Structure 1
């Protein structure tokens, strides 16, 4: 079946993927792919176009991770696609192993940035001014658009009432679409390793086994009784922290999490949300400690993309593009 070629004005949703593995997962969530379109000379982005449930979507990656590249990509995207109304920032993030109303945050879970308390859903923890003996965070980030928050709530309701989880089903799409997609497979709870904050990984370029990390030091955590690890993606909602610093120290993770009530850390949301209404969705691929590695990247990216895909089935009819 030949691809459709639509007008630039037909696209209303921008889907931003900082990493290559996240962009692959996003492409696997499309119902159909569209032909590429001419873009303005000042726009250096490379786009993938398509649709989900009749919503036309622009997918863009980032040349580098970080808030500044995210802001640049968003600005150029909006210049070329004049009718974009909102965006999704979808990818992996580092989780804080705390308990929420949906259980304890674990690898492979999804965190959605939603307003809680004094925060809008995202907090830029490294933006502020130094004062004598302290650091004062300044500025604020706008909350996600009400349309997407309402779609997220509608999805939550459906997932509570159905026997089968549509997010889990969509997280398997990369595995069904082509061979060689093994990195998107669910690694299994047995490979979800959490060490005490004081336990440090000694050799950064080697696995925990090669580095000699003692398995007996891992924190023993049982799967929540209401969580079926093989057929359900657990979704947590709350504050996501954004900053230019890669958090790889459990002590720093816990200090910032306690200070701001953070569930997840990432590096692009503050830049993307500065002038574009977005919902931030992150699949948990590590615990922001020295033991972090790439083993969960593929599945975490697929889980986040699957959640994003399901939102398009809960947007109002009038939002569907002709």
Structure 2
């Protein structure tokens, strides 16, 4: 729906960063209303989508390429054009660690949300640090999210725990998967959730597991050996499972299950991605990632659409847990700090 009201640059208070095209499309489809474009300077090369969700005015921006450098450039230009925006959401897909949290085991299509821990903001740059005798000390701790976002995430988590129906899943209905171009956002099905043993590598790079005949006997049947307490999470076609914890950011794509497990153990990470370090160096942000693969050599594009959609649906629901006036006050307060 196109909004008829006229808005200025200063009316926008929240940035939604959707790095990839598949993530940007999902983000745009989550808007209640879409606003007219506003002028921008010749040095701002970003392409913005403007709109609102639950009366929050939002700027959606994608990246010309993946990685921290591209993300940092986009954020710098965005903040120069929309001066009342001081925090945002980094929403997209990521590689998941096949571990478990308080909300059960992590599977494809689940959502992982950054949550501050005692010694860091919930997102770390795992490849930034210094070598000490016999170990590597990670020093890439990123700017923590603002309180208003953390409170919204906590409120959503609490309300979901005491509500029978899933609060996030209904937002997927805003994506009409009957359209050919949007079919990739459909839930692929539990039978497509394949996790291979950590010591079994993909047979042919660039080919699917099916076409290169990866041995199905090397898959881990997690649904049969996980405990009865996890049964509530089995039917992921009827709910989106959300995990909160540490998200690890780096300059390279993780395609190695052994490295994944090593880094996850060292940092307590639930998910890996590539843009948070570029966004969060000086821009408070909450990271939301839909799990599209297990960060191993068997990763493919089958789950990209649904993972992007589930992350976008979670991000949309957050705006129903953030008071509009508090967000505006936060933006004004931070503007004074950074000016």
Normalising by the smaller structure, the TM-score range is: over 0.9
Shift of residue 275, structure 1, vs aligned partner:
1.1
Q: How far apart are the structure 2 equivalents of 1:319 and 1:40?
A: 29
Q: Judge conservation of contact 1:90–1:282 (CA < 8 Å) in 2.
A: yes
Q: Judge conservation of contact 2:30–2:316 (CA < 8 Å) in 1.
A: yes
Structure 1 partner of 2:232: 226
Q: Which moved more, 1:220-229 or 1:279-288?
A: 220-229
Q: Structure 1's 319 and 216: CA in aligned 2 closer, same or farther, altered over 3 A?
A: same
Q: Structure 1's 177 and 319: CA in aligned 2 closer, same or farther, altered over 3 A?
A: farther
Q: Structure 1's 270 and 218: CA in aligned 2 closer, same or farther, altered over 3 A?
A: same
Shift of residue 319, structure 1, vs aligned partner:
3.8
Q: Judge conservation of contact 1:108–1:296 (CA < 8 Å) in 2.
A: yes
Structure 1 partner of 2:304: 297
Structure 2 partner of 1:92: 93
Tell me the secondary structure at the aligned position of residue 200 of structure 2. coil
TM-score relative to the length of structure 1: 0.95
Shift of residue 226, structure 1, vs aligned partner:
1.3
Tell me the secondary structure at the aligned position of residue 231 of structure 2. coil
Q: Judge conservation of contact 2:148–2:327 (CA < 8 Å) in 1.
A: no
Q: Judge conservation of contact 1:247–1:265 (CA < 8 Å) in 2.
A: yes
Tell me the secondary structure at the aligned position of residue 171 of structure 1. helix
Structure 2 partner of 1:40: 41
Q: Judge conservation of contact 2:177–2:186 (CA < 8 Å) in 1.
A: no
Unaligned runs of at least 5 residues, structure 2 = 329-339
Q: Structure 1's 2 and 135: CA in aligned 2 closer, same or farther, altered over 3 A?
A: closer
Structure 1 partner of 2:76: 75
Q: How far apart are the structure 2 equivalents of 1:320 and 1:33?
A: 20
- Structure 2 residue 286 is matched with structure 1 residue 285: no
Equivalences for residues 118-197 of structure 1 within 5 A: 118-131=119-132, 134-175=135-176, 178-197=179-198
- Structure 2 residue 3 is matched with structure 1 residue 3: yes
- Structure 2 residue 306 is matched with structure 1 residue 306: no
Tell me the secondary structure at the aligned position of residue 212 of structure 1. coil
Q: Judge conservation of contact 2:247–2:269 (CA < 8 Å) in 1.
A: yes
Tell me the secondary structure at the aligned position of residue 125 of structure 1. strand
Shift of residue 131, structure 1, vs aligned partner:
4.9
Shift of residue 220, structure 1, vs aligned partner:
0.6
Q: How far apart are the structure 1 equivalents of 2:17 and 2:77?
A: 12
Q: How far apart are the structure 2 equivalents of 1:150 and 1:135?
A: 33
Q: How far apart are the structure 2 equivalents of 1:80 and 1:319?
A: 22
Q: Deviations over 1:189-248 (max 9, x none)?
A: 110000011000011111101111111110011172112322110000000000001100
Q: Deviations over 1:22-75 (max 9, x none)?
A: 000000100000000001221110100000000000000001100111111001
Q: How far apart are the structure 2 equivalents of 1:57 and 1:204?
A: 39
Structure 2 partner of 1:51: 52
Q: How far apart are the structure 2 equivalents of 1:269 and 1:235?
A: 19
- Structure 2 residue 246 is matched with structure 1 residue 245: no
Structure 1 partner of 2:213: 212
Shift of residue 171, structure 1, vs aligned partner:
2.1
Q: Judge conservation of contact 1:94–1:265 (CA < 8 Å) in 2.
A: yes
Shift of residue 137, structure 1, vs aligned partner:
2.4
Q: Judge conservation of contact 2:55–2:324 (CA < 8 Å) in 1.
A: no
Q: Deviations over 1:129-169 (max 9, x none)?
A: 34565433224212111110100111112222323212111
Tell me the secondary structure at the aligned position of residue 231 of structure 1. coil
Shift of residue 320, structure 1, vs aligned partner:
6.6
Q: Structure 1's 173 and 78: CA in aligned 2 closer, same or farther, altered over 3 A?
A: same
Q: How far apart are the structure 2 equivalents of 1:18 and 1:253?
A: 22
Q: Which moved more, 1:257-266 or 1:204-213?
A: 204-213
Q: How far apart are the structure 2 equivalents of 1:217 and 1:262?
A: 24
Q: Which moved more, 1:137-146 or 1:93-102?
A: 137-146
Unaligned runs of at least 5 residues, structure 1 = none
Tell me the secondary structure at the aligned position of residue 266 of structure 2. helix
Structure 1 partner of 2:280: 273
Q: Judge conservation of contact 2:13–2:327 (CA < 8 Å) in 1.
A: no
